[in-house]
Every structure is written in C-alpha cells, then in structure tokens.
Amino acid sequence: MNTPDLAPVPRPLTTLLVFTLNEIDGMKAVMPQIPAGWIDEVIVVDGGSTDGTFEWAQHAGYGVFRQSRPGFGDAFLEGMARASHDIVICFSPDGNSKPDAIPCLIKKIVEGHDIVIASRYLDGARSDDDDILSAPGNRTFTWLVNTLFHARVTDSLVMYRAYRRHLLKELDVNTSTVAWGSQILLRALRAGKSIAEIPADEPKRIGGTRKMQPLRNTCYELAMLFKEYGRPQPPRLNPCPSSVTKKSS
C-alpha cells in the first residue's frame, strides 16, 4: 500500500486509540513503526496486563491508563472519553493492524467521510489471521448487514477503523459489550452517515493470545444486529449513502 504524505495538507488532529491486554511482544514490534508525524495523540487503554505491557507503554511516553471496568466495549467507551482530537483511529497492537494504513484512513476522513473501515476483504487485501470459523463468519455477518441495512461494505466486523469523534455522542453509542463496533456502524448506516473503506491486510498476531471468543462474540454481534434493525428509523436531514473506496492512493 502506498502511504500518502500528509505533511503538506492541513488535517484535523488525530488520536490513536490502542487496546492492550498482555500484548508486550506486539507493542514492541508494532508501535515503533508509527512515525510521530502521523498521529497527534496516542492513548493506550490497558485491560489489566501482567506481562509488562503497561510499563512499556509508560516508558515509551504514551498516554496509558487501566480501564476501570473489564471488557472490550468499556475499553472503547473509556478510551473515547479521553480522546482529545477530531479523528479517532481504533488500533490493535497485536500485529493484526498494519500501521501503513493509518495515513490512508486519515486521508479518507479528510475527504469527508464519517467512518473509514480498513477492510480485510477489499481489492485483494487479505487476512492471514482468519481461520475456518472466522472467515465465513465475518463474511456472513457482513452479508446480513448489507441485506438488512441496504449497505455496501465488505468488512463489517474489523476493529481497525477511523471515526469522527462526535459520532459517539451523536449516535448515542452506549454498549459495553464486544459488539460496540457493530453498534456504531449500524447506527451510522441508519443515520445516513458517509462510510468508506480502504483495503488493508491483516497479518497474523505477534505473541500473546487471541482474545476473541467465537461463540460468545457471535451471540453478541447477532443480538446487536437484530436489536438495531428493530430500532425506529431516525430522521435523516441530509442523507448520504455509504460508500466503498476501492483504492486509496
């Protein structure tokens, strides 16, 4: 992927929201790959690491705190409450999120989109972390999203996305479950927000252990899907259909 030079073009300030739970190997390998000029603020949300992740982030100079309540949804809500800037990128330091997609995500937000998804299934991008359960599960869930919400996204479950920070309040995002990403996306679709995608590979994780629990996550995601589908349609003053960006230069 060609990463654009953001320096000559004024852009909104950007917060990188990094979620950790015993990811010391990934943090050491991945975080140094992010040039300081790409991001204006790094917030590390730690879920109670015992392997030195928290201390390493402190020593590296990142803003880091331990979340007050357990769970991925609470990590997101607490991290967003601390974010200072207009653009927020949710990032996994376990190796699954490639840093070179960061400038492309920002570029798409600057072009006028509200959410930009780093899709594992767009334009030749691939996931090396998918398995026999997650690959068909991800695609089936995305098909349901597109069918029920009249959308055209290719990857509805990936966590690696850029958001306009005001969406959290505007869309009344409030779930503390692992389905927080789906709640944002589905409410954004219903509200007519502009959603774009860029292709981004998902490499295998680096060290640590996978946190995703397939059966539990599937239950939460499906429950969120049908709950949001059943919500009353909000007013759309300036509807803007979701869009898929097939190539980012």
pLDDT tens digits along 130-188:
888 788 999 999 999 999 999 999 999 999 999 999 999 999 999 999 999 999 999 99
Name the band, by pLDDT with cuts 50, 70 and 90, for residue 209: confident
Domain segments of the chain: what residues? 14-229
Fold of 14-229: Spore Coat Polysaccharide Biosynthesis Protein SpsA; Chain A (3.90.550)
Say if CB 127 and CB 92 are below 8 A apart.
no
pLDDT of residue 217: 86
Record the tokens describing residue 160, joined without a space: 């690696």
Strands laid side by side in the 14-20 sheet: 63-66, 41-46, 14-20, 87-91, 161-164, 115-119, 195-199
Per-residue model confidence as pLDDT tens digits over 51-93: 999 999 999 999 999 999 888 899 999 999 999 999 999 999 9
How many angstroms from the chain centroid is the CA of residue 94? 14
pLDDT of residue 5: 52
Record the tokens describing residue 90, joined without a space: 């949710």
For all residues of the chain together, what is the average pLDDT? 89
pLDDT of residue 245: 45
Name the band, by pLDDT with cuts 50, 70 and 90, for residue 244: low
pLDDT of residue 135: 87
- pTM of this prediction exceeds 0.85: yes
